[in-house]
Amino acid sequence: MTRKEKAAHIQVILDDLYPEVPVPLDHKDPYTLLVAVLLSAQCTDIRVNQVTPALFELADNPYDMAERQVEDIKQIIRPCGLSPRKSKAISDLSQILIDKHDGKVPQSFEALEELPGVGHKTASVVMSQAFGVPAFPVDTHIHRLAHRWMLSKAKNVEQTERDLKKIFPREHWNKLHLQIIFFGREYCPARGHKPTECPICSLYGRRSMF
């Protein structure tokens, strides 16, 4: 069986289990999604969703956020970790959005990745979930599952992303990204994983890894 054939079967399993997948980070527009994704670095989505209501009460748009003290932002987002760096990035990117993009989140990978604290994965999430542009954001969790399912032998998330884009249809990338995240949490965790009980690993898993 080729990787594309395996990927097609895995997609059938994912579609059956998760016909609809919500964006796990609470947000109301591209700006609040951008901030939430930035906060999610080395932090759980649950924790981010616990923190963002207070943050967005303080400011939920770049104009208001740019006027807030970095220290005030830092105190609110402290539970997310890396608060000194993240608070400065939120403040700085808000000002850049005002100065360069009329207060709006830009709709291009290049412009997003120029913003402080925004890497390729964050830009991919915003492009896919806020603007519907095909993207396949790969974090360490998806990287791990791609190895476990023998869909990629890549050593880093960048190459894993390229591998997954080659074997899954472009029009399904945005949904698949979320489906794999939800599947990993429910059936295929990093610890305590039971391959024989996993709907995918029981068929295709590399049981000796991760």
Based on the domain organization, do 50 and 69 belong to the same domain?
yes
1 — pLDDT class (breaks 50, 70, 90): confident
- Looking at 70, 102, 131, which one is the last position of a domain? 131
Residues 41 and 102 in one domain: yes
Over range 20-47, report the average pLDDT.
96
Q: Do the domain assignments include residue 86?
A: yes
Based on the domain organization, do 192 and 104 belong to the same domain? no
For the four alpha carbons of 186, 188, 190 and 195, in that order, the dihedral sign comes to positive
Q: What is the pLDDT of residues 43-76, one digit of tens each?
A: 999 999 999 999 999 999 999 999 999 999 999 9
What is the span of the domain harbouring residue 9?
A: 3-21+136-204
Q: For residue 118, how many other CB atoms are within 10 A of its CB? A: 20
Which tokens in the block code for residue 202? Answer: 């029981």
| pTM given for the model | 0.91
CA distance 159 to 138: 10
pLDDT digits (tens, 9 = 90+) for 131-144: 999 999 999 999 99
User: How many structural domains comprise the chain?
Assistant: 2
The answer to whether position 209 is within a domain reads no
Q: Is the same domain home to 175 and 101?
A: no
CATH of the domain at 180: 1.10.1670.10
Active site positions, annotated = 121, 139
